[in-house]
């Protein structure tokens, strides 16, 4: 470190600056620069000097430190305000630690015993251990918040004590949108369901695929041996082509015979909207459920029919049953009225009784 204690007066400093050759480099070491500036300001009484005298000391400090004028000015201002020059020491503020390492280890031990319950259930265990079983170790944990339990589970102390691995979960792609169709008085939004013709001596019976248009109640029934992909997909293609109008919507319950990739691909290829019943809305598919009882069960009965007769029954449906229920069997159609309290009330007047085909012809632009 350079010793310049002998330069106390301004004349000595001025003489030093004038006698210093331009090519001579004489600098204060960087690590002791702040201390040297503070010592020089104090030694020369910088803040009591005149403006001209300050300029001499200022030039001297610039020459010795190699700082810019702006940098040196800031350091002098800092010394005048705080009587100290140097880098600020960052002091981080820490929240007081309430839960100790032993508490975290106790949480890990409890989770190990109870297979990592949810936050509220774990908090209840802590409360029971302290209040009912008088275990003093749980005194702090008994008053912990549910959200902070999850914070402690992410601490390194907890993770080292108890490693927990979960298998990679496969991504689930939703098939069908869970909502109620809105046909807006347009045909082409069908409801579909499966009716099983019973089992006998561990022998499966025939399956009936029942589909009804929501607006016109136009109904198509097909029968198959089984509801596997091999039988169901070809029948669905025929069923959709049987309706005398373009199919726009396909609504089913949550049965796996329809909620699968094969049916979804078929409907997607035909640009048909695929919807399924909502949870806790038992009337989402009420129309097709009523048709199952009033048409399928009433005509085909409840008695077991072996699968081998599926082809003959399907031929009967095509030639006789489907034409009968659509062109000759009358259906009730509702009429909505709003009472004085604003409640919608449905009535079924006699004038609204007609066959599905007559209802279809009564719709605006039915010929299209």
Quote the pLDDT of residue 23: 47
Quote the pLDDT of residue 336: 86
Quote the pLDDT of residue 9: 73
CATH code for 177-362? 3.30.420.10
Q: Exposure string (b/e) for 148-178, b if CB count within 10 Å is 16 or more?
A: ebeebbeeebbeebeeeeeeeeeeeeeebee
Quote the CA–CA distance of 30 and 28 in Å, as a whole number: 6
199-200 and 203-204 strand pairing: antiparallel
Quote the pLDDT of residue 359: 92
Per residue of the chain (368 residues), give pLDDT as tens: 455 665 667 777 777 777 665 544 457 788 888 888 888 888 888 888 888 888 888 988 888 888 889 988 998 888 888 887 877 677 777 777 889 999 999 999 999 999 899 999 999 999 999 999 999 999 999 999 999 999 999 999 999 888 766 777 777 778 888 888 889 889 999 999 999 988 888 888 999 999 999 999 999 999 999 888 888 899 999 999 999 999 999 999 888 889 888 999 999 999 999 999 888 887 888 889 999 999 999 999 999 999 999 999 999 999 999 999 999 999 999 888 888 888 888 888 999 999 999 999 999 888 87
**Region class of 116: left (phi > 0), else alpha (psi between -120 and 50), else beta:** left
Where in the chain are the domains?
10-82, 101-161, 177-362
| Spatial contact of 363 and 215, defined as CB atoms under 8 Å apart | yes
């Amino acid at each position: 470190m350079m010793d310049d204690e002998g330069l106390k007066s301004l004349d000595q400093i001025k003489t030093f600056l004038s006698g210093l050759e331009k090519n001579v480099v004489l600098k204060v070491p960087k690590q002791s620069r702040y201390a040297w500036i503070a010592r020089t300001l104090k030694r020369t009484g910088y803040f009591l000097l005149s403006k001209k005298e300050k300029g001499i000391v200022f030039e001297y400090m610039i020459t010795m430190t190699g700082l810019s004028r702006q940098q040196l000015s800031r350091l002098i201002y800092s010394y005048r305000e705080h009587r100290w020059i140097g880098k600020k020491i960052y002091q981080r503020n820490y929240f007081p630690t309430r839960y100790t390492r032993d508490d975290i280890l106790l949480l890990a031990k409890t989770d190990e015993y109870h297979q990592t319950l949810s936050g509220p259930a774990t908090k209840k265990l802590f409360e029971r251990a302290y209040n009912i079983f008088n275990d003093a170790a749980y005194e702090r944990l008994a008053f912990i918040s549910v959200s902070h339990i999850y914070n402690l589970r992410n601490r390194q102390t907890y993770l080292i004590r108890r490693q927990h691995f979960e298998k990679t979960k496969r991504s689930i792609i939703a098939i069908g949108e869970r909502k109620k169709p809105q046909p807006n008085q347009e045909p082409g939004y069908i409801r579909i369901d499966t009716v099983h013709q019973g089992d006998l001596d561990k022998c499966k019976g025939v399956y009936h695929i029942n589909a009804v248009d929501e607006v016109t109640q136009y109904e198509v029934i097909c029968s198959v041996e089984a509801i596997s992909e091999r039988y169901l997909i070809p029948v669905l293609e025929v069923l959709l082509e049987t309706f005398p109008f373009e199919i726009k919507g396909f609504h089913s319950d949550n049965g796996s015979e329809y909620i699968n990739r094969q049916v979804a691909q078929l409907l997607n290829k035909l640009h048909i909207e695929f919807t399924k019943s909502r949870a806790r809305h038992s009337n989402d598919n009420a129309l097709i459920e009523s048709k199952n009882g009033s048409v399928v069960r009433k005509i085909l009965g409840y008695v077991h029919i072996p699968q081998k007769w599926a082809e003959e029954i399907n031929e009967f449906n095509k030639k006789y049953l489907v034409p009968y229920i659509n062109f000759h069997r009358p259906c009730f159609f509702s009429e909505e009225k709003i009472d004085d309290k604003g409640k919608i009330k449905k009535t079924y007047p006699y004038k609204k009784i007609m066959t599905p085909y007559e209802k279809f012809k009564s719709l605006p632009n039915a010929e299209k």
